[in-house]
Amino acid sequence: MTTYAVTAVSGQLGHEIARKLIALPGGDPVIGLARTPGRVTDLSIELRPGDYDRPEQLQASLAGVDALLIVSGMAPPEDRIQQHRNVIDAARAAGVQKLVYTSIIGPEEGTRFSPVVQSNRRTEADIRASGLDWAIGRNGIYIEPDIEYIDNYEARGEIANSAGTGKCGYTTRSELAHAYAALLTRDDLNGGTYDLNGTPITQGRLAGYLNSTFGTDLTYREMTSEDFVADRSTELGDFIGPIIGGIYEGIRQGAYDRPGDFAKVTGRPHQSWEDYFLSLRA
């Protein structure tokens, strides 16, 4: 049997990946790592401590693990590179055979989001150089935050950002988890880097889907990058605001308008946006 482990199972993506692995046929053991394991109460798996800043703890927690899914950390870019190296080094020392990393699609130069993308690329390079088997996924943009923001959109009567007519290859955490379960368990995908996103859509199309699902009457209004960063910074603060602004700069530039490799990884197409929004209505 193969023993799998997933980091950051107290977070939304790590938790969903662990759930997908548990549901796979075969009954291979799944171990969940979390900075505070006690916060995870609804996964019927072994839980171990997994703080990216504590290399010795990580090595002990990875004992007996064959393949490890590393969920990208949320620290500032200059910090997360070393945190990810701690996990890679601990995995190698513990005898882990394979690493899978949740990277991101995004603009590597010229936006306020680019330093985050560059830090992910650095970790990708570290994983390729680890000497272990590996596979890398690059996440599209989560669509769930737009769903969760629907009351704010409705209050404003519009979606307003700096994406313009650019198309964004959104995805969902559930679809990503399905893909990462495949990357972790399928050795024929080793040595590949895969874009994990659905069909790219414009902000106007997104507004249409939201209207049909929630009965709203939203329109799309393009903002300048500077105005959108200021708007997001007012609501989210001076660290997250520019990062969100940089993502939408990347959408406008076409960084997220790509067909993706979801079907190659999973053996089926990414869920269509028509089906996704129909499921929300149901």
For 154-188, what is each residue's pLDDT tens digit? 999 999 999 999 999 999 999 999 999 999 999 99
**Which residues on adjacent β-strands are paired with residue 134?**
99
pLDDT at 29: 97
What's the pLDDT band for 125 if we cut at 50, 70, 90?
very high
pLDDT value at 216 more than 90: yes
Query: What is the domain partition of the chain in residue ranges?
Result: 4-138+173-196+259-267
And the tokens for 16?
């969903």
Mean pLDDT, range 73-101, rounded to an integer: 97
pLDDT at 272: 98
The conformation of residue 187, written as its DSSP 8-state character, comes to: G
The conformation of residue 54, written as its DSSP 8-state character, comes to: -
CA 120 to chain CA centroid, Å, is 11
**CATH code reported for the domain at 4-138+173-196+259-267:** 3.40.50.720
pLDDT value at 87 more than 90: yes
pLDDT value at 238 more than 90: yes
How far apart are the C-alpha atoms of 20 and 174, rounded to whole Å?
Answer: 9
pLDDT value at 122 more than 90: yes
Mean pLDDT, range 28-46, rounded to an integer: 94
Averaged confidence pLDDT in the chain: 97
pLDDT at 282: 82
How far apart are the C-alpha atoms of 98 and 125, rounded to whole Å?
Answer: 15
